[in-house]
Amino acid sequence: MPSADRAKRDAGYYAADLVKNGMILGLGTGSTAYHAMVRLSVRIREEGIFVAGIPTSHQTAMRARELRIPLTTLDDHPSPDLAIDGADQVDPLLRLVKGRGAALTREKVVADAAKHLVIVADPGKLVQVLSGPVPVEVIPFAITPVMRAIRTLDGDPRVREGKAKDGPVITDNGNYILDCRFGEIPDPVRLEEQLTALPGVVECGLFCRYMEKTTLVVGEERGCRVVLGRRAQGI
């Protein structure tokens, strides 16, 4: 197994082992979160723990059913015990860029609702300054004015195109994704506020409000390194 894949697996397994019997979980979207779900499935089968997951995408829901992880909703459990998810970039203050899987809006809803947020990553996701493309979910009606407004913020927005279909990627919410390049982002908190304030924007992939309740698990060659936010002690 390549080292990056092994790091993702180890981090995902570590996160799944933080789960306690009876917990309600947010289940993120993407390859690293999937490793956590695989390990969680084993624990359900072999240890007999009971958990229920709130999926952040149709893909995650399908995978959870295949792994026999019980599912629930935010309507029934509006304050999950913790959410397990991945990230595209993480800075030293535990601010994130997310959304490569186009599930950023549901991921942010679940992250906001959860008491704790566990982010699993390989070392390649760690950066000193956030600089990756920032996904922005936009209603189709507003795509042109939103792109124009993002350019005034010194961004370079591109409509994300499908890989196995012609045309734009459509989110689970029926919207488009703009991948917006800003170069280095010295003030991601302000940029998140500016992007989400634009009419027609549903959400953006900057996650800057959850630093204190975040636990970062980084898979490394000699095990996992864990970084705790101020309020992440009680998992």
Q: So which residues are the catalytic ones?
A: 107
Beta strands in 79-222 (DSSP E): 82-85, 89-90, 96-97, 116-121, 134-138, 156-159, 176-181, 201-204, 206-207, 214-220
**Measured between alpha carbons, how far is 204 from 185 in angstroms, rounded to an integer?**
14
Q: List, in sequence order, every residue forming a beta bridge with 219; answer none if it has no partner.
A: 224
Nearest alpha-carbon partner for 37 in 57, 58, 9: 9
* Per-residue b or e along 38-70, where b marks 16 or more CB atoms closer than 10 Å to that residue's CB: ebbbebbeeeeeebbbbbbbebbbebbeebebe
